[in-house]
Each structure stands twice: as structure tokens, then as C-alpha cells.
Structure 1
Amino acid sequence: MEKAVFLDRDGVLNEMLSNRVKFVNNTGQLYLLEGAAEAIAEFNKAGYEVFVVTNQGGVGLGYLKEKNLVRIHEHLQSLVRDKGGSITEIAYCAHRPNAGCECRKPGPGMLFDLAARHNIDLSGSVMAGDHERDIEAGKKAGCKTVFIGDGPSSADLIAPSLHSAVQPILDLLSENK
């Protein structure tokens, strides 16, 4: 089984609720955060697959068409490739926020599904996100966790950005080799 890096999307990889964009509803609203694509490339160079796990309740609420979400994710993949990185798969929960599904974070469903399909050792992997629901999902799945942003958080580590968290995440992944 392999170890992997699981990343939340909004607020970790791209801007959200910023001066330029409130929510990402089309490719023109996708602005990568500084160093995010490069961070993914560094994880890849170290031999780790990267997965994105994101709640996208706007689909279930009717604010975003699923075909537009797919285009946004294709664009995200392209931006990351341009910097030498690769996202193995982007998983999303399109259910309404209060649907009660297991795939919506803080539920661990997306992580369990990806792990089963890609032979991932969740106990040796890392989940990074900018909300406590991301950290809860990671913990429920058995991952080590990294909070991106200003604490407080129940995460194993806190870092101001994904780029600044690269080495700490690699250190977590190298534990118990």
C-alpha cells in the first residue's frame, strides 16, 4: 500500500472568499494560491500521489452545474501540470450541505473511497485542509492532518500555506517508513 497526500481545494489550492472571487463557479474564477501548484509538484517528486477531496454543495443547491465543476477541475489539473505537478484524482461531494451523506466532509467517505480504489495506506497518509471539517475527515479516515491557515486546530500540524507546509508534510509521510 502507498502513502498519499489528500488536499482540500478551496482555500488550500485556490482563492475563495477573496477580493477577486467569492465562490468558484467557472474556470475564470479559479485563481491558484501562491506556491500551491509547486507544492503538488514537490509531493510528486518525492514519490507521493496527490488527491483532492472537496465539498461542492453548490451543485446540490443548484448554484453550479456539475459539468461546470468538471471543467473547473480539468482547468485545475492543467494549471498544476503547467508547474510540473499531477493530481491523481479529484473527488467531490456534490450533495447539499445538510444531506447527511458520508462523502461530505467531515465524513471520511471520499478518503475511504479513494484509498480503496488506489491502494492507499490511510494511516501513513496526510490530509490537509483549511477548515476543521477537513481535519475531522482526515482523522476519521486515520490520516495525519495539517491545518492550512491560522489556528487553532486539532490538526497534527498548522502551517500558513500549502507551500510552507511541504517539508512538514513530507516529514509526516516519512515517519514509520
Structure 2
Amino acid sequence: MQLRNDSQRFGIITIALHWLVAMTVVGMFALGLYMVDLTYYHDWYRSAPHLHRSVGILLFLVMGARLLWRLISPPPKALPTHQPWEKVSAHLTHWALYLLLFTAMISGYLITSADGSAIDVFNWFAVPSMTGDQKGLEDLAGDIHEIATWAIIILAGVHALAALKHHLLDRDDTLRRMLGKAPRDPDKLS
């Protein structure tokens, strides 16, 4: 399999980044839902937020690399069978997901760093606060974070359903391309 995207197929780097981000986002959302109800005496009361913040910072770096890779290796062209509205909605959905992901990650960072605290990332390095102690910022960032993460999950669900629609109903190669599969021979489809 090729490393870079070409006009017809995704390369392995794009595919790996796509699925790494997708799995991480779903896992982070689940962990976020789980940890908001933890009580002070629960074993995960301190561990879950530390894990959530650390993975969030690493995800920010991965998303930065993903955007850079997109510039270096642009995605393949839409399939010729796609309708104009599908092309536009796919384009808007991808950019909305990027915007929402960065909104969620930056607001998540601000939740913790709004009091001037640095974020320790798995005891490997610390990301300092860029705001200092800002009263009210934690609550505002928390509201934005919650809205952005729910919007990501909903939009990612629509994105996944669209991929399944292309695969099961349209029987085109949209999903196959993101799974690293070779295009199907159109003469063998019935």
C-alpha cells in the first residue's frame, strides 16, 4: 500500500491517522461521560481526568500532524458517481469535524489551565497555562467543550452513516478507500 494519497486512493498514513483519531475521539467521549459522575472517593476520580487531559494534548498534536499531512498529501478526488450535493456536504462535514475537534481540544485545555495550572501529559512533559488565573473561564470553556464534543459525536455518526450508505446502498468505493482496499471492478458489480 502506498504512503501518500493519490487522485484515486488514500495512502496508509491518511488511513492510519483517520482511524486513530476516530477511535481516540470515541474513547475520549466515553471516558468524559464516565468521569463526570465520579465521586471524590472513586479510584478513578484523579486518574480519569489525568488520562483524559493527557490523551487530549496528544490528540491535539496528532490533529496538527493530520492537517499538515493533508497539505502535503491532499485527499483523493470524490468518486464520479457522487452527486454534487454529496460532494459539498462531505467537504463541509470534514471541515466542520476539524473545527469542532480543535474547539473541543482548546476548550478542554482551558478548563484545566484557566486557574493558571499546567497540564501534565503522562509525566512526560507539561503544557503551561496560557491564560493565567481567569475567573469564569473554566465554566465557559466547560460549556463550549460539552457542546463541541456532543456535536462531534453526532456529526461523526452522520459521517459513518453516510459511509455505510455509500457502501451498502450505492455500492461504491467510498468506504473501501478509507479501509485501504483496492477499488472494485465496476464490471463485476451487479
TM-score (norm 2): 0.28
Structure with larger Rg: 2
Q: Which has the higher strand share?
A: 1
TM-score (norm 1): 0.29
Q: Which has the higher helix share?
A: 2
